[in-house]
């Protein structure tokens, strides 16, 4: 029958049914009349006619299966029947729905994060047309000589591509980092705001309209410092300005320049980065005004080969231009830019290195997100873990349904014997499991609704403000429906097929025999074994990540971690230059040192675990480099008494002191790793190290060797590093300093005093947020910690679900074997023997499950190897502990049914037989 007819039938269903009934009645009446005519009594005639006709209801059913309304009606009937069944077994229903909800909720939460990070398009015009010229998965500012594929670009590079490329209908740039500045709005006191610099065509290229006022246009790109305007984000306008149209024209003061609000961007738009929420945008031309002393709009090629790469470039391809064609054009352009982008004095080697740079175009509909790949990898691991939880939940529900199916043996037998087809019953069973899955999915969505926010917050790790849009959109809903359906079929099909394969003779006879369902028990046990294996996998994974975290936390950094606080101070933005900077650092150090409660203060440019790093090319006296890697070393510029303040002992010589001024001979302290690599047994004291950067160079004499200290990462070996006095730096005095301050008591109590002390020197000094070293370390280990926590959570849930499953199956087995146990006890078996018999079965299941689990864990460990630290791939401690936990939980779950078996009263059990 064609679909069209089937559908038209739906609309005339009732009429169809009435017609059919009338027709059949007509037939029966005529036949009855015939028989009456041949001499039967009316009753006999009716009976004979009916018999000859067959079963009218059945025929009616068969005729009616043909239309879709009947199909829907059957579905409704099945659903009502299923609902009645569920209401009659509330415990079963709640356990099943909750297990599924936990599994589906966990998966949906993780998926909604993946959706936000990997799948969802930016809320801009035609997001699929967007291309990025830089790598939208990176963030920050990179200063120096880059090589290979470019993550970011400089403003000068952008200008040249914008002016010459013909492949794009528009090309814009935006800062690759969200700033945090002190601003004064309408003369009010200073407050924190998060602005972003964008090129004047940013909004038009992305296709974002103003909500009120205007967005930037070509007028806003006159000249550096000449366009003091801001566009507010819709959220900021709502929150800070109460959504008031009078916000237009409001003066906002940032570092001595007053900006005027010219518009509010469209609602929902929060920039090209999916995890950042800028408060407002400023025209690119204002860069020198908001970062005084640093002009990143111009590159002075004659002086420097350092480039400041701080921008992401996004564009739209011109009509008819393919990505490959645009790539070819950009390749040519960029090669030209690079060739002319470095001073002619560059050494041939450096020049060769510099020329090895490339821009890679990529589709950018999902916007920018620093660290996307790493984040996605974590999500994959979590999705795996939550998948295991869901699988275990499915098996639980399958087992529950199997148990119920055998309890319903008789019902099924009756229904089959009065003419229900097996397909009809399978359908009824499947409807029940799908309804269960659907209910689980609904509750799961509720869990996911809260869960996704929680997970997003947990996974934010060391990001300052991390706000992913994890709202449950259609894609997430489709995912939830999809996995609900899949799980419904997954856990429902086997019980449905098994439950309807009924031997009518057996099932209708009164006694339910243990032997009748031994097949079911074997299947159930097999499923429990699988559950054991899966939960072992989950707890091993959690264990590996936990041990990784503990190993990281136990790493010796080489100095006391407590009572040390750090604060970054920027001298350049406040207007300090040259010798003024030297004076500033001396002044600040002295003031901080004399604060009550401070036992020592020094500084370094990179700080400790604060995410900044420096490296340069070095030539070491008496050392011949073998590879390119031998030519470089990391370094830091430090203040006097750095090592004694931080707490690192000197192994040889002296540390950097106050005497090491710009006028004094240049000296250097090296760490053990540097001594080992570059001096390898020779005495480093008094030897010379040449630092090179481009055509700058400085020669230092080694005056000390310090013990290794960890300053930026916990995982790898300590890198060779040399330490130079901040006043003797190759590029002049340091513009920026991170103060390391030792306190007598809790460093957190000192925050306010230290902030005030620094600002008392100059109100305009820009401070990074104050942090203790332990806070910085916590941020370094934030992601492993969150992964460990989440995976532990999933592991525990998996274990709990598996234990429930084991308990259920064993309880069922004991009930089924009441007779057998009764016979054994009547024949003289003691309680202990009965208990050990049941526990032996448990033991066998655990053993097989453990084997499966260990094999799986070996594969798992390999998969997550890159996230492990200080562990062999298959860590014996973790595996043993996981096995012990599993065995313990399983034995507890098995002990209760075993005890119940031991309490079987042999007399009653046998009477039952």
Partner 1 sequence: MGKHSNDRLQGTLDLLVLKSLACLGPMHGYGISNHIQSIAGDALRVEEGSLYPALHRMAQEGWILAEWRPSDNNRRARYYALTAAGKKQLAAEQRRWDELTHAVSRVLSFA
Residues that bind partner 1 (CB under 8 A): 1, 5, 19-20, 22-24, 26-27, 29-31, 33, 52-56, 58-59, 62-63, 66
Question: Closest separation between CB of residue 3 and partner 1, Å?
Answer: 11
Q: Which residues of 399-434 are buried (b: 16+ CB within 10 A; e: fewer)?
A: bbbbbbbbebbeebbebbeeeeeeebbbbbbbbbbb
The residue (of 58 and 680) whose beta carbon lies closer to partner 1 is 58
DSSP state of 129: G
Cα separation, 263 vs 204, whole angstroms: 14
Question: Closest separation between CB of residue 793 and partner 1, Å?
Answer: 52
Among 595, 885, 887, 638, which residue's Cα sits nearest to residue 754? 595
- At 743, list the tokens: 């306190």
Question: Closest separation between CB of residue 54 and partner 1, Å?
Answer: 3
The residue (of 23 and 149) whose beta carbon lies closer to partner 1 is 23
Among 637, 640, 678, which residue's Cα sits nearest to residue 657? 640
Cα separation, 306 vs 144, whole angstroms: 4
Among 559, 572, 632, which residue's Cα sits nearest to residue 602? 559
Question: Closest separation between CB of residue 26 and partner 1, Å?
Answer: 5
Alpha helices in 596-706 (DSSP H): 642-646, 672-674
The residue (of 15 and 298) whose beta carbon lies closer to partner 1 is 15
The residue (of 48 and 767) whose beta carbon lies closer to partner 1 is 48
DSSP state letters, 767-813: EPPPEEHHHHHHHHTHHHHHHHHHHHHHHHHHHHHHHHHHHHHHHHH
Residue tagged 């200073």 (tokens): 190
Which residues pair with residue 635 across a beta bridge?
A: 722
Cα separation, 760 vs 802, whole angstroms: 62
The residue (of 56 and 224) whose beta carbon lies closer to partner 1 is 56
In this structure, are residues 508 and 416 in contact, taking their beta carbons and an 8 Å threshold? no
Cα separation, 245 vs 144, whole angstroms: 44
Question: Closest separation between CB of residue 133 and partner 1, Å?
Answer: 58
The residue (of 57 and 760) whose beta carbon lies closer to partner 1 is 57
Question: Closest separation between CB of residue 64 and partner 1, Å?
Answer: 9
In this structure, are residues 707 and 556 in contact, taking their beta carbons and an 8 Å threshold? no
Question: Closest separation between CB of residue 66 and partner 1, Å?
Answer: 7
Cα separation, 813 vs 524, whole angstroms: 10
The residue (of 59 and 695) whose beta carbon lies closer to partner 1 is 59
Q: What is the Cα 874 distance to its own chain's centre?
A: 24
The residue (of 23 and 209) whose beta carbon lies closer to partner 1 is 23
The residue (of 1 and 663) whose beta carbon lies closer to partner 1 is 1
DSSP state letters, 575-611: T--THHHHHHHHHHHHHHHTSTTEEEEEEESS-SSSS
Which residues pair with residue 144 across a beta bridge?
A: 307
Question: Closest separation between CB of residue 430 and partner 1, Å?
Answer: 22
The residue (of 17 and 89) whose beta carbon lies closer to partner 1 is 17
The residue (of 61 and 621) whose beta carbon lies closer to partner 1 is 61
Cα separation, 542 vs 530, whole angstroms: 18
- β pairing state of 598-604 and 771-772: unpaired
- β pairing state of 721-725 and 632-638: parallel
């Amino acid at each position: 029958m064609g679909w069209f007819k089937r559908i038209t039938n739906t609309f005339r269903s009732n009429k169809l049914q009435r017609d059919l009934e009338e027709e059949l009645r007509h037939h029966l009446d005529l036949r009855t009349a015939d028989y009456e005519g041949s001499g039967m009594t009316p009753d006999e005639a009716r009976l004979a006619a009916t018999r000859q006709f067959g079963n009218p209801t059945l025929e009616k059913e068969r005729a009616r299966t043909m239309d879709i309304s009947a199909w829907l009606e059957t579905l409704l009937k099945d659903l009502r029947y299923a609902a009645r069944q569920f209401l009659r077994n509330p415990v079963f229903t709640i356990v099943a729905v909750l297990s599924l909800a936990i599994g589906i909720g966990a998966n949906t939460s993780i998926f909604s994060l993946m959706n936000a990070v990997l799948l969802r398009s930016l809320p801009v015009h035609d997001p699929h047309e967007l291309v990025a010229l830089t790598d939208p998965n990176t963030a920050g500012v990179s200063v120096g000589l880059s090589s290979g594929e470019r993550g970011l670009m400089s403003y000068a590079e952008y200008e040249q591509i914008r002016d010459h490329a013909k492949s794009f209908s528009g090309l814009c740039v935006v800062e690759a980092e969200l700033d945090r500045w002190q601003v004064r709005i309408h003369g009010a006191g200073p407050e924190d705001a998060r602005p972003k610099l964008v090129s004047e065509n940013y909004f038009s290229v992305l296709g974002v309209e103003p909500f009120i006022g205007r967005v930037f246009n070509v007028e806003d790109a006159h000249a550096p410092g000449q366009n003091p305007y801001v566009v507010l984000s819709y959220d900021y306008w709502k929150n800070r300005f109460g959504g008031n149209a009078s916000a237009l024209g409001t003066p906002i003061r940032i570092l001595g320049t007053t900006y005027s609000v010219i518009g509010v961007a469209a609602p929902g738009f929060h920039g090209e980065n999916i995890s950042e929420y800028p408060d407002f945008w400023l025209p690119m031309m204002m860069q020198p005004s908001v970062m005084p002393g640093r002009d990143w709009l111009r590159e002075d090629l004659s002086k420097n080969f350092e480039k400041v790469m701080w921008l992401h470039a996004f564009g739209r391809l011109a009509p008819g231009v393919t990505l490959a064609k645009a790539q070819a054009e950009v390749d040519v352009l960029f090669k030209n830019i690079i060739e002319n982008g470095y001073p002619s004095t560059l050494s041939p080697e450096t020049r060769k290195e510099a020329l090895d740079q490339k821009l890679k175009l990529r589709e950018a509909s999902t916007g920018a997100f620093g660290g996307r790949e790493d984040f996605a990898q974590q999500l994959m691991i979590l999705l795996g873990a939550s998948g295991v939880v869901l699988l275990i939940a499915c098996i639980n529900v399958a087992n529950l349904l199997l148990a119920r199916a055998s309890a319903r043996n008789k019902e099924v037998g009756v229904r089959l014997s009065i003419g229900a087809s097996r397909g009809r019953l399978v359908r009824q069973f499947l409807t029940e499991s799908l309804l269960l899955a659907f209910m689980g999915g609904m509750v799961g969505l509720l869990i996911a609704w809260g869960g996704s926010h929680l997970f997003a917050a947990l996974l934010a790790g060391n990001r300052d403000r991390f706000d992913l849009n994890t709202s449950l959109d259609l894609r997430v809903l489709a995912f939830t429906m999809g996995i609900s359906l899949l799980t419904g079929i997954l856990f429902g099909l086997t019980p449905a097929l098994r439950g309807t394969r009924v031997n009518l003779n057996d099932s209708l006879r009164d006694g339910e025999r243990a032997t009748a369902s031994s097949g079911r028990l074997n299947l159930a046990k097999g499923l429990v074994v699988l559950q054991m294996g899966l939960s072992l996998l989950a707890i091993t994974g959690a264990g590996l990540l936990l041990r990784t975290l503990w190993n990281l936390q136990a790493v010796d950094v080489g100095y006391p971690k407590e009572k040390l606080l750090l604060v970054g101070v920027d001298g350049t933005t406040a207007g300090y230059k040259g010798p003024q900077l030297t004076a500033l650092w001396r002044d600040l150090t002295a003031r901080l040192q004399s604060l009550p409660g401070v036992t020592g203060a020094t500084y370094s440019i990179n700080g400790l675990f604060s995410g900044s790093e420096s490296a340069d090319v070095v030539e070491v006296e008496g050392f011949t480099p073998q590879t390119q890697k031998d030519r470089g070393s990391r370094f830091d510029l430090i203040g006097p008494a750095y090592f004694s303040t931080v707490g690192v002992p000197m192994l040889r010589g002296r540390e950097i002191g106050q005497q090491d001024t710009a006028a004094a001979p240049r000296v250097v302290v090296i760490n053990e790793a540097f001594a080992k690599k570059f001096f390898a047994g020779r005495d480093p004291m008094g030897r010379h190290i040449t630092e090179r950067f481009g055509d700058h160079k400085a020669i230092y004499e080694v005056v000390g060797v310090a013990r290794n200290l960890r300053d930026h990462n916990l995982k790898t070996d300590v890198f060779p590093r040399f330490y130079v006095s901040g006043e003797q730096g190759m590029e002049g005095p340091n513009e920026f300093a991170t103060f390391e301050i030792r306190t007598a008591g809790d460093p957190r109590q000192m925050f306010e005093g230290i902030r005030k002390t620094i600002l008392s020197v100059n109100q305009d000094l820009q401070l990074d947020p104050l942090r203790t070293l332990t806070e910085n370390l916590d941020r370094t280990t934030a992601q492993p910690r969150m992964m460990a926590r989440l995976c532990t959570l999933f592991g525990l849930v998996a274990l709990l679900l598996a234990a429930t499953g084991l308990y259920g199956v064993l309880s069922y087995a004991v009930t089924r074997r009441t007779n057998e146990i009764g016979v054994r006890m009547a024949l003289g078996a003691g309680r202990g023997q009965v208990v050990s018999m049941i526990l032996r079965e448990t033991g066998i299941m655990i053993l097989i499950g453990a084997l499966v689990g260990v094999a799986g864990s070996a594969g798992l460990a390999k998969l997550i190897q890159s996230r492990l630290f200080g562990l062999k791939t298959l860590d014996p401690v973790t595996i043993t502990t996981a096995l012990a936990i599993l065995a313990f939980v399983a034995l507890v779950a098995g002990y209760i049914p075993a005890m119940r078996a031991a309490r079987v009263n042999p007399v009653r059990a046998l009477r039952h037989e």
